[in-house]
């Protein structure tokens, strides 16, 4: 079985050595880059299964790097590791399409768990359907788009992942913590608030579609009703 390849951008050499060593001991092939430009060059010239990015990098910062990676590849998991603790930074990272954001100092056990979750999800996604019909819309989950005759809406990756999860479980009850664990790997308060924002936007987009609704089951979770 081939090793999963991880692209790792971190300018702190001590932290980078310790993290790379731990990941390699758990069977991953790690390419470490000390600045954002080197990381982007490696990404453009190689094939990787997951990216781990610091934010405060020389040459190209982690946010710009993540945007470039996500533009080129919409499916590869991205995890931020950063000393930046402001909520605004976490939101920005997630909006850029990152799959998670861990604050330094972080637990290597938690990072390993996140990597396993996202690689498993990524491998599973490759065999699942990526296009769906929702009312007047054609939904392309890989390109994050909802398209109608005269309208095209681009979703964030999180919104697209959430809508796909609902469509794969239409008319079934999805518990709130189940959604959070599937999409983020944990169910803390911050991610719960983000989930509410994404559901609110999806409701607005689909508000005029007859029979389609995201029902809120108080204290339990949500149900995506198709009316079909």
Global confidence as pTM: 0.57
Contacts of 167 (CB under 8 A, 6+ apart): 132, 134, 139, 224
CA 180, 144, 38, 44 torsion: positive or negative? positive
Whole-number Å distance between alpha carbons of 189 and 113? 19
pLDDT per residue rounded down to tens, the chain (228 residues) = 457 899 999 999 999 999 999 999 999 999 999 999 999 999 998 889 999 999 999 999 999 999 999 888 888 899 998 887 778 888 888 888 888 888 888 889 989 988 988 888 766 555 556 788 898 899 998 788 999 888 899 988 888 889 998 998 888 999 988 888 887 776 677 778 888 889 999 999 999 888 899 999 988 899 999 865
Task: Confirm if 8 and 79 have CB atoms less than 8 A apart.
Answer: no
Quote the radius of gyration of the chain (alpha carbons, Å).
18
111: nearest Cα among 8, 217, 198: 8
Residues in the chain: 228
Q: Are strands 78-82 and 100-103 parallel, antiparallel or unpaired?
A: parallel
């Amino acid at each position: 079985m081939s090793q999963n390849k991880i692209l790792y951008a971190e300018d702190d050499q001590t932290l980078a050595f310790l993290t790379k060593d731990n990941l390699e001991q758990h069977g991953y092939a790690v390419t470490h880059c000390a600045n954002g430009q080197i990381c982007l060059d490696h990404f453009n010239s190689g094939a990787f299964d997951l990216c781990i990015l610091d934010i405060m990098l020389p040459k190209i910062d982690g946010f710009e790097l993540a945007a470039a990676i996500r533009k080129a590849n919409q499916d590869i998991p991205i995890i931020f590791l950063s000393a930046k603790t402001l909520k605004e930074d976490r939101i920005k990272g997630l909006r850029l399409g990152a799959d998670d954001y861990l604050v330094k100092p972080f637990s290597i056990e938690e990072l390993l768990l996140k990597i396993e979750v996202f690689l498993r999800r990524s491998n599973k996604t490759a065999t699942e359907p990526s296009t769906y019909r929702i009312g007047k819309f054609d939904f392309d989950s890989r390109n994050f788009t909802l398209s109608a005759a005269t309208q095209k809406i681009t979703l964030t990756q999180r919104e697209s992942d959430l809508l796909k999860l609902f469509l794969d479980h239409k008319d079934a009850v999805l518990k709130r913590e189940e959604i959070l664990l599937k999409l983020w790997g944990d169910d803390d308060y911050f991610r719960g608030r983000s989930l509410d924002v994404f559901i609110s936007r999806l409701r607005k987009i689909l508000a005029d579609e007859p029979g389609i609704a995201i029902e809120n089951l108080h204290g339990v979770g949500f149900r995506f009703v198709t009316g079909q």
